[in-house]
Amino acid sequence: MRQPTPARRAIEVAPIAGALGAEITGVDLAAELADEVVAEIRRAWLDHLVVFFRDQRLQPEEFLAFARRLGDPVEYPFVKGIEGYPEIIAVSKLPHETVNFGGIWHSDTVYLERPPMATMLIAREVPPHGGDTEWSNMYAAYEALSPGLRRLLEGLQAVNSSALADVSKTREDRIRDHGYDDAQQYLAVHPVVRTHPETGRKALYVNPAHTAAFTDMTDDESRGLLEYLFRHSTRPEFTCRFRWRVGSTALWDNRCTMHNPINDYHGYTRTMHRISLAGDVPR
């Protein structure tokens, strides 16, 4: 552990896009951060939904220690953690693979009763080009809907599944290499419009990877409206895009964002380490 960050050291927060996303400088995440610094980071995260840090040389224990300053790390249900750190999983695509892990717009593990409030990712190896990640602001997506559609959606619940075909395919390589032999499938019902427990703002809470149908409706009846919401939520004006370097670290809010790792680097390795932070039951 490095020397403590001075309590009054100012960090700088610079937005990277109009909709969401900011880069934070002036902080070493491996240091023993003062409470005031952690509070500043948390405020920036709530304000900008996803925040980024460059050139962080975090060992696994330091990565986990920083995560614990923000919440409670939890294990991922399908892939085992790296050796000695069950809460940290490797998110990799190897040169011979053509499908990337989580390569579809989604919010993490919405098929759980208590999805994670946040995810942290640090880049360990990146391709010479490509491999960016996009995020979408689900507050903005909700607020841009017509009043009539907002009224309709606020009365709906949706079924979220871990077994939808597109996202299951993106996990196959990692489950084969590092997965649990007895991994079960998960289903959870959550509101289509979620109220953020910390900000009080409303956000759309459906995603292409996990949301199967509205409750009390068939898949066919649900499909048209869900597909509209998926397209609407990823309009360019609601998104930001981040280019990774080794040591780049991201922290995002799963309660009001989706993200999409872009699969445009065939023939190269991209390896990240990921931590999820425990959340609550969506309301």
For residue 229, count CB atoms less than 10 angstroms from its CB and return exposed for 0-12, middle for 13-18, buried for 19 or more.
buried
Q: Which of 48, 44, 93 is nearest to 70 (CA)?
A: 44
Check if the beta carbon of residue 273 is closer than 8 Å to that of residue 90: yes
- Is 259 annotated in the active site? yes
Catalytic: which of 28, 48, 108, 210? 108
Catalytic: which of 174, 194, 255, 259? 259
- The residue assigned the tokens 């579809």 is 104
- Is 108 annotated in the active site? yes
Catalytic: which of 106, 171, 190, 255? 106
C-alpha dist (Å) from residue 242 to 15, 25, 128, 144, 245: 12, 15, 14, 24, 10
State the pairing for strand pair 157-161/118-125.
Answer: unpaired
Cα–chain-centroid distance for residue 236?
18
Please give the angle made by the CA atoms of 212, 237 and 127, to the nearest 5 degrees.
Answer: 80
**Phi, psi (degrees; rounded to nearest 5) at 186:** -125, 145
- Is 55 annotated in the active site? no
- Is 96 annotated in the active site? no
Coil, strand or helix: which one is 183?
Answer: coil
List, by residue number, the catalytic residues.
Answer: 106, 108, 259, 274
